Amino acid sequence: MRKESQERASLPRFFTLEMFMFTITVLSGLVLIWNLIAPNNNIIALFCAGIVFTLSIVVVIRLLMDPDSVRARQSDAMLKLASRTLACMNEGLDRTAAEKICELLLPSTAAIAVAITDKDRILAYSGYEESENPSGSIIRTHATHATIADGEMRVLFTPEDIGFPDEDSNIKAAIIVPLTVGRNVEGTLKFYYRRASHISETQKSIAEGFGQLLSTQMAAAALEEQTNLATSMELKMLQSQINPHFLFNTINTIASLIRTDPETARKLLREFAVFYRRTLEDSADLIMFGREMEQTRRYFTFEVARFGSDRVAMVEDIDSRIDDMMVPPFLMQPLVENAVRHAMPSEGKLTISITGEVIGQDVIVRVMDDGVGMTEESRQNILHPESSTGLGIAVKNVHDRICGYFGPGTYMDVESELGVGTCVKLVLKGGARREYQ
């Protein structure tokens, strides 16, 4: 926890240094001006103020031009913008949300206009020629129709490529990003530019990144509307995988590393994008156990970044034959997450061990930890039907789904001892036969 606190404090300290130097510059400048216009000049004060003003100007310029500081400010701004964008989509991507998002994105890019469409019409348009592109207007440009048709991102450098018949248009270039839900293209995010030279690699990255972010949130909204999940317990489980607490907690962890370890921050950001996408993709179908473990490892990467490798660790000893076994998704991650949340000691290191073995036609999987353990009463209660929050709902959900898929003879067993640790054992009847075909 101490390591996490130090990392989170590093970025604010950097911006505090900038503000301090700006303050020194302004104060020394005021003293310099006052001495210049005062009737009785104090030569010593004038000389000292001039030196302080000059030195502070040099330091401020060095701070502003330092590559690490530039990246820190850019990353911090993008993370805040992403957070505000997500907040606009609580109810999905409707016209109101689209208008707010366009207004947020426009000043944060080099574009002169930003637009969001569905498959047929403009949902929102902000910027140049806004009055000529009202919400609800039919999509006119062939490049937008082409993106909706093939789902490919387009970077366009001429009005003809965009589909503007009038070559006198001030819009000379554009980036069009498809918004997808699963394999279906549901709309586009468009950035229009005054000149082709304004489209840099940074602009492409921003466009692509926010296109993926909006697509992910659209998929999350669509997921919540589905009614074909087997039980309401599964829906609660899926919602817990994409809750805002986990989202913002991970963003804060990444933000804390931007200044101290930008390379690690970039890697975590990429991993988080994959994790979030996989969470949605894996929510409805059976997946291979190996894929479930990949997602579990990816999740644990964020916990190591958050708490530090001196506080949490995960080891595995899994028979390779189990990797191809088909299982319902979200079996292992909730158990590992519970171990981190509930078994972490106040001091020392928590080690989580995952084992998997094949015994005859059955598969035995164990998730063990050396944490604080639990009382006998707590152990008896976590599988109780009335458990509806926290540890109870996660463990019972896993139990119900393995029994529903693997059938009679499948069960979960929980052993725990205070101060020693906890072991959750999954006995998957006939699991060795449940391979990918």
CATH code at position 405:
3.30.565.10
Same domain? 424 vs 319: yes
Here the CATH number for the domain that contains residue 204 is: 3.30.450.40
Ranked by mean pLDDT, the top range of 203-212, 238-247, 258-267 is 203-212
CB 103 within 8 A of CB 111: no
Q: Which of 214, 245, 264 is the last residue of a domain?
A: 214
In a domain, 415, yes or no: yes
Distance, in Å, from the CA atom of 370 to the CA atom of 339, rounded to the nearest integer, reads: 9
In a domain, 257, yes or no: no
Residue 37 has a pLDDT of 72
Question: Higher pLDDT residue, 34 or 352?
Answer: 352
Q: Does residue 383 sit in helix, strand or coil? A: coil
Same domain? 22 vs 127: no
DSSP state of 133: S
In a domain, 224, yes or no: no
- Does pLDDT of 346 surpass 50? yes
The predicted model scores a pTM of 0.46
- Does pLDDT of 109 surpass 60? yes
Question: Higher pLDDT residue, 102 or 247?
Answer: 102
- Does pLDDT of 244 surpass 70? no
201 pLDDT band (50/70/90 cuts)? Answer: confident
285 pLDDT band (50/70/90 cuts)? Answer: low
Q: Which of 179, 214, 249 is the last residue of a domain?
A: 214
Same domain? 23 vs 103: no
Domain that holds residue 197: 90-214
In a domain, 3, yes or no: no
Residue 163 has a pLDDT of 85
Same domain? 386 vs 426: yes
Same domain? 21 vs 55: yes
Beta pairing class for 173-181 and 184-193: antiparallel
Same domain? 196 vs 112: yes
Residue 223 has a pLDDT of 63
Q: Which of 214, 233, 254 is the last residue of a domain?
A: 214
CB 363 within 8 A of CB 425: no
Distance, in Å, from the CA atom of 95 to the CA atom of 88, rounded to the nearest integer, reads: 11
Ranked by mean pLDDT, the top range of 258-267, 282-291, 399-408 is 399-408
H runs (alpha helix) in 226-356: 232-241, 244-260, 262-281, 289-307, 332-343
Distance, in Å, from the CA atom of 357 to the CA atom of 291, rounded to the nearest integer, reads: 17
Average pLDDT over residues 305-324: 93
Residue 239 has a pLDDT of 46
Q: How do residues 27-80 score in pLDDT, each as one tens digit?
A: 777 776 776 677 676 677 767 777 777 777 777 666 555 555 545 555 666 677
DSSP state of 71: H
- Does pLDDT of 6 surpass 50? no
In a domain, 238, yes or no: no
| Largest Cα span, the chain | 99
- Single-letter code of the amino acid located at 261: D
Question: Higher pLDDT residue, 86 or 192?
Answer: 192
CB 393 within 8 A of CB 387: yes
For residue 421, the cross-strand partners are 417
Q: Which of 21-30, 71-80, 114-123, 311-320 has the lowest mean pLDDT?
A: 71-80
Average pLDDT over residues 391-405: 77
pLDDT averaged over every residue in the chain: 79
Residue 151: CB partners within 8 Å, gap ≥ 6?
178, 180, 185
In a domain, 277, yes or no: no
Distance, in Å, from the CA atom of 106 to the CA atom of 289, rounded to the nearest integer, reads: 43
Same domain? 43 vs 170: no
Same domain? 314 vs 422: yes
Domain count for the chain, please give it. 3
294-327: b or e for each residue (b if 16 or more CB lie within 10 Å)? Answer: bbbbbbbbbbbbbbbeebbebeeebbeebbebbb
In a domain, 354, yes or no: yes
Residue 9 has a pLDDT of 44
Residue 4 has a pLDDT of 39
In a domain, 274, yes or no: no
Average pLDDT over residues 317-326: 93
Q: Which of 48-57, 185-194, 412-421 has the lowest mean pLDDT?
A: 48-57
CB 48 within 8 A of CB 28: no
- Does pLDDT of 386 surpass 70? no
Same domain? 121 vs 58: no
Residue 437 has a pLDDT of 42
190-219: b or e for each residue (b if 16 or more CB lie within 10 Å)? Answer: bbbbbeeebbeeebeebbeebbbbbbbbbb
- Give Cα 75 to chain centroid, integer Å: 13
Same domain? 30 vs 123: no
Distance, in Å, from the CA atom of 256 to the CA atom of 222, rounded to the nearest integer, reads: 32
234 pLDDT band (50/70/90 cuts)? Answer: low
Q: How do residues 122-163 score in pLDDT, each as one tens digit?
A: 999 999 989 888 999 999 899 999 999 999 999 999 888 898
Distance, in Å, from the CA atom of 431 to the CA atom of 343, rounded to the nearest integer, reads: 29
Residue 11 has a pLDDT of 45
Average pLDDT over residues 73-101: 76
| Distances from the Cα of 203 to the Cα of 47, 50, 108, 197, 426, angstroms | 46, 41, 10, 11, 48
- Does pLDDT of 242 surpass 60? no
C-alpha neighbours within 13 Å on the C-beta side of residue 337: 22
Average pLDDT over residues 195-202: 89
Same domain? 105 vs 185: yes
Q: Which of 33-47, 93-107, 170-184 has the lowest mean pLDDT?
A: 33-47
CB 394 within 8 A of CB 338: yes
For residue 192, the cross-strand partners are 113, 174
Same domain? 333 vs 418: yes
